[in-house]
Chain A
Amino acid sequence: MSTILKTKNLTKIYGTKFNTLTALDNVNFEINKGEFVGIMGPSGAGKSTLLNVISTIDTPTTGTIYFEKENISQLKGNQLSDFRKQNLGFIFQDFNLLDTLTVKENMILPLSVSNMPYKEIEKRVAKTGLLLGITDILNKYPFEISGGQKQRTAAGRAIIHQPGLILADEPTGALDSKSATELLNCLSDLNTHHHATILLVTHDPFAASYCSRIMFIKDGRMYSEIYSNGNRKSFYTKVIEMLAALGGGIHDVL
């Protein structure tokens, strides 16, 4: 299997000379194509920083990130936004849908800027809508639909341009358990049947249990890593145990 993302000695230090905070400390990991990877860790462990750095929203202090062998920490300005547009898909906790656009319009946003022919756009919308079960609400506005539908719309927007990597930042954070399960099933389905590579940052052990591998970070360092054997229930238990061992994560679980 080929590597899609690889980090080398990734370090991020915030603050001034005399008052520094090391958010990431020599983080090294690899993600292969088609993996569904979770990142967990207590608050302040550096999860968001890691995600921001990977998604090129933030730059690392030292270290490099390779995306399909390309060093993306060297990219600048327009190259960066082009890279993000083409290769990454984002799902956020608070959906980040534009209220003025319909579900469909929100979904095709990444396509429209790449000047794709409209017929191809229509095809992709139909396909993605079917995949996520939002075909019926394509012409509705975000305020007319439920949180779960909103997040599925956001997921649609994240995958419609077939990016190499989907970054999901606490996607179930604002959802009730039923909607959360629906969304996770969708993501899992995308992963197994459509070979999407997904990087999921979450607090929620239930959401994490859908992953094939989970990396734990604490105080900016890689703490440990666990693999799923395919059985979600036992994986879930493993996650809980790991969080307990991690300390600070306890209150997030209960």
Chain B
Amino acid sequence: MTFYSLAMKNIKRNFRNYSLYIFSTTLSIFIYYAFSTIRYNDKIFTVAEEVLKFKALLQMSNYIIAFVVVIFIWYANTFFMKKRKKEVALFSLVGVKKTQIGRMLLIENALVALISLVLGILIGIIFSKFLIMILLRIMLIRVEIPFSIPIKSVIETTIIFAAIFLVVSVHSYTLVYRVKIIDLFHSSKKKEQEPKTNIFMATASIILIGCGYYLSQHAVNDYFLTYALIISGCVIIGTFPLFSSFTTALFKYLKRHKKLFYKGTNLITLTNLTYKLKSHARTLAIITLLTATTISAMGSLYGLYVTLSRANENEHPYSYVFREENMDSTDEIVDIIEQYPNHKILDKERFTFLAITTDMQSIHNEESYFNRESVSMAYSKLSDYNQVAAKQGLPTFQHLEDNECILVTPYYHFDTFGPANQNQIVIKNAPNERYVLKDVVQKAFLSTNYYPFTAVVSDEKYHAISLAGNPTDTMIGIEVKNEVFSQSLTTQLKDYCKGKNISITDYYTTIRTLSEKKAVALFSGFFLGVVFLIATGSIIYLKLITEAYEEKDKFIILRKLGFSYKEIKTIAKKQIFIIFAMPLIIGIIHACFALSTFNHMLVIDATDAFIVAILFFVIIYFAYYWLTVNYYNKVLSKS
């Protein structure tokens, strides 16, 4: 039998273990390849406008993937080696040279690497077009991308992963030399001593994490960066003793409650967990932090995406807003739009505003909210407003007093400014003209590009102010169908306006630049999240299944004592569940605090997005739990 066939046999025999490993590496290679394909796809960059940032982000993502994969493969290999220590020692015992054993392991590793690479790139080739289509879709670009296999990507992916596999293989090769034959006879017969409780460390971990949580709720101030640094420091440093000391203390405390401890299988579950959590403390802490990072990253990116889309809608209620002295060109503009049957005119409004330099103040002290710099506000009359509001589903108002106004703007933050009726606006050149805000409508009137703030006053008052000689401004807002995909129409309208000296703002351009940025962030955030998730899931899985064999003896004893197979399965399941659940739950709590800070900082509400991110994470994580339990059951049923 040659070493090659022996290695082949080993992989076949250990296929269950290798399958998950190969699955994880394959998926990472696939994602790496897909990113690299996008990076090398020139077609995308001819249509996307934010090319440079885009490429840098993808490059960065690729680096991170490679880094995570290095850690993951390293971990996995160490586990495989641990598991096969006996095998290596046995080969040594029958006189196989260590170099030969090493060579055999190298062949095995090479085979795994080859299988993962071929599979990963193959899947990449098949699905990369699909992924690019998804990316373009969220970037709101409609372009056909032809199927292609960029040789550059294939080569890059192969080189990077071959190098990773090589480094790791060399590492496991050296492990062969550290295996002693004596280990064959008493390998896992270690003395198990109950972990000592370190009350100081346990308390410290709680205090540190508590501090981090507390500070995170007060972090949105001028020293945000310093705070962020202190908070992450506290939480990261606190998480490690949380698993190594706090859980030990907690379980010891639980053990003292005899009623609970002596009940059913709790006795075994609790003691086993005390040992396990202690010995896996570092891994669990790392997994907690990875979980927290992944969820926060995915949640905040997705939240940003959703919220910005919503905000954009609020800032641009109309597809196009034109501004011209007398709006003589309206008919011509309508003619142009009518050439596009896809973009039917849904609504067309003509408005006249008064443009007045205005300040906003609190009614109690006269401190300006605009840092003493007044802004040019658009003044509109109530009847005009109500007409639009009815169409757009905004609140309408029956009546306004002479000293009242309604502020229409997406930029009024109740957190910062306080309730509406505590504020007033003051016309700069006529300090006696003040209007208390009766209400705030958080949407743009026409387009924030011209006037971020619009003040609505009663018709009589409007008339009075207009007599004071304030300049008027006339605009036309047109809403068309399928505005998101109105590239050619927009280009034509822009060209037309340029010639006529008409000012135009459009929804399409704004949403496009925004969505490109967001789309790339969302896209790479999501796939990075997936890679992290695979890595964390696989690490716990491998850790637990290597233990399954050591645990087996324990379960055989219980079996002999009359525990039923079902009870033993329950014990195993409970243990695995807690080991999976603890880092997940703590990670999610960490993430929730991070996300609440994030919400607070950007004054948005991205809760839905966070829930989606957490659910996504939990579901995939649960798959790993299920795999582990299955594996345990297989091992246990053999005894």
Q: Which residues of A contact B (CB under 8 A)?
A: 57, 77-78, 80-85, 88, 90, 92, 96-102, 105, 108-113, 115-116, 118, 121-122, 141, 143, 157
Contact = CB atoms under 8 A, between A and B. Distances in A.
A78 B193 CA distance: 33
B151 interface: no
Interface stretch (B256-264, B368-376, B391-399): B256-264
Interface in B417-440: none
A111 B561 CA distance: 11
A85 B262 contact: no
Contacts of B266: 112
16 contacts: A80-B564, A81-B563, A85-B563, A98-B268, A100-B272, A100-B274, A100-B554, A101-B267, A109-B267, A112-B262, A112-B264, A113-B265, A116-B262, A141-B192, A141-B194, A157-B561
B564 A143 contact: no
B500 interface: no
B347 interface: no
Contact of B192 (A78, A118, A143): A143
Nearest to A105: B267
Contact of B560 (A77, A82, A96): A96
Given A78-B566, A98-B554, A100-B275, A109 B263 contact: no
B263 A115 contact: yes
Contact of B258 (A80, A99, A118): A118
B499 interface: no
Interface in B188-222: 191-194
Given A113-B567, A118-B258, A99 B192 contact: yes
Contacts of B386: none
Contacts of B558: 98, 109
B192 A109 contact: no
Contacts of A101: 267-268, 271
Contacts of A111: 262
Nearest to A101: B271
A244 B274 CA distance: 53
A110 B267 CA distance: 10
B185 to A, nearest CB: 16
B573 to A, nearest CB: 16
Contact of B557 (A78, A96, A102, A141): A96
Contact of A108 (B262, B554, B565): B262
A143 B258 contact: no
Given A105-B271, A121-B258, A90 B265 contact: no
A77 B567 CA distance: 12
B191 A121 contact: no
Contacts of B567: 81, 113
Contact of B561 (A90, A100, A105): A90
Nearest to B275: A100
Contacts of B563: 81, 85, 113
B562 interface: yes
A241 to B, nearest CB: 34
A98 B258 CA distance: 19
A102 to B, nearest CB: 8
Contact of B268 (A109, A115, A118, A121): A109
Given A85-B562, A111-B262, 19 more contacts: A81-B564, A88-B562, A92-B560, A96-B560, A98-B268, A98-B271, A98-B557, A99-B192, A100-B272, A101-B268, A105-B267, A112-B264, A116-B262, A118-B261, A121-B258, A122-B258, A141-B193, A143-B191, A143-B192
Contacts of B566: 78
A141 B275 CA distance: 13
Given A111-B262, A121-B262, A100 B560 contact: no
Give the residue among A57, A90, A118, A143 with the most B Cβ atoms within 10 A: A118
Given A81-B563, A81-B564, A81-B567, A118 B259 contact: yes
Contacts of A122: 258
Interface in B529-573: 554, 557-558, 560-567
Contacts of B261: 118
Nearest to A87: B562
Interface string B256-299: 00110111111110011011000000000000000000000000
A112 B564 contact: no
B263 A100 contact: no
Interface in B55-80: none
A128 B272 CA distance: 25
B193 A109 contact: no
B564 A118 contact: no
A78 B565 CA distance: 8
A115 B271 contact: no
Contact of A100 (B192, B259, B262): B192
A49 to B, nearest CB: 15
Nearest to A169: B560
A139 B557 CA distance: 21
A157 B563 CA distance: 14
Contact of B564 (A82, A97, A98): A82
Contacts of B560: 57, 90, 92, 96
Nearest to B265: A113
B552 to A, nearest CB: 13
A118 B262 CA distance: 6
B638 to A, nearest CB: 15
A141 B196 CA distance: 13
Given A57-B560, A105-B271, A143 B262 contact: no
B356 to A, nearest CB: 79
Contacts of A83: 562
B562 A112 contact: no
B344 to A, nearest CB: 71
A143 B258 CA distance: 24
Contacts of A96: 557, 560-561
A111 B194 CA distance: 22
Contacts of B274: 100
Which residue among A98, A110, A111, A157 has the maximum number of chain B CB atoms within 10 Å of its CB? A98
Which 10 A-B pairs give the minimum distances between C-beta atoms?
A: A84-B562, A81-B564, A85-B562, A118-B258, A99-B192, A96-B557, A118-B262, A112-B267, A143-B191, A100-B271
Contacts of A98: 268, 271, 554, 557-558
Given A99-B192, A143-B191, A110 B561 contact: yes
A111 to B, nearest CB: 7
A189 to B, nearest CB: 23
A109 B258 contact: no
Interface in B219-275: 258-259, 261-268, 271-272, 274-275
Contact of B562 (A77, A100, A110): A110
A80 to B, nearest CB: 8
Contacts of B268: 98, 101, 109
B94 to A, nearest CB: 28
A92 B553 CA distance: 14
